[in-house]
Structure formats: structure tokens, C-alpha cells
Structure 1
């Protein structure tokens, strides 16, 4: 069959792709988010099933979910600010949201390090 080989992007290019995806999704990445994302992507590039922008998309989806969980816990469960949250905060991803992804790699059982 036909096979087209595309070169992998570098970590900095993938960080920029994440920033563009974030803007396209109308999310704001806090200043602490990109260094943690870069750490994640550098680690992830060395694992099986790395797929450049698809991996970035998956990471962004997971970070958005992590942000939702973090905000739910902070505002709904803990009742911070009387449970009131700003629209800006609803559309923000911070370093904690990507740190979950880093931790998944760091603390994973090496025999189970399979990422889609």
C-alpha cells in the first residue's frame, strides 16, 4: 500500500499547535500552562503511539476535562466564592490541568504505558 511519511514536529511546534487549538476552542491558557504542557509533550514524544497534532488534540481534550473537574471541585463542592465562577475562569486551562497528564506518565506502571 501507499505510505506517506511525515516528519514529527518538535516540542516547541507542538506547544504552538496547542496554543492555536486553545484559541480556536475559545480557551485561555494561563501562563503556567504552557511550560507544563511542554514537559508533558516532551515525555509523551518518547512513548508508543505518539501522533503529533493528534496527541496534542487528545491532551487538550484531557486538559479541558481536568479543568472542568478542578472548577467543579473548587466552586461546587468547596463552595469557593459562594459557588460563583466567572466566564473567564470557565474558559481557562492552567498548569494543574496539564500536570495531571504529566503525573499519569510519571506514575504509570511501565508495563502499562500505552497512550492513544
Structure 2
């Protein structure tokens, strides 16, 4: 009888052990599942937060790029205007140099003409006095 009782007791104890093991395993799996859900939810929230931050940074960089592009365009326009102005000034200088050369030539011609007239005048004056 003792051995039957002892075997029944062992079987009951083993069944109790299995039941406790299954219960603890079920609780452990449930808690792990909860932890995983929280981790996934936390990761999702962090991901959305980082996405919003990146979106803000991208917007800032885009605005900065647009300002730089605008400044570059304005600088290029100013450069083209200065280049055109320089070209006009250079053309004006060339024209003034040509005008100066022409005036110099006319001045020399007039000096020559004046000398000739003076020589003729002196000849006439001399011939009148004699």
C-alpha cells in the first residue's frame, strides 16, 4: 500500500510539477510578449520621432539651399551686369583712344597749316616793307 500511495503521490507531484512548469512558462511567455509589444511600440514611437526630426532637418536644409541658390542667381546677375558695364567702358576707352589719335592728327595738321600761314604772312610782310 505504501508503494502504491507513494507512486500515486509521485505521479501527483510530477503532475503538479508539470502544471506549475506550464503555468510559469505561460506567464513567462505572456510577459515576454507584453515586453516585446512595448519594445515594438517604443521603437515605433522613436522611429516616428526621428522621422519627424529628419523631416524638419530636411526642410531646414532645403530652405538653406533655396537661399543659397537665390544668392547665387543674384550674384551671377550682378556679375553679368558688371561684365557688360566693363565691356561698355572698354569700348568707350577704345573709341576715346581713336578719337584722341584723330584729334592728335588734326592738331598736327593744323600746326603745319598754321606754320605755313605764318611763313606766308612773314613773306608778305617782308615784301610789303621792302
Give your verdict on TM over 0.5.
no
The structure with the greater share of residues assigned to helix is 2
Q: Considering Cα pairs closer than 8 Å and 6+ residues apart, tell me whether 1 or 2 has the greater RCO.
A: 1
TM-score, with structure 2 as normaliser: 0.25
TM-score, with structure 1 as normaliser: 0.27
Query: Which of 1 and 2 has greater Rg?
Result: 2
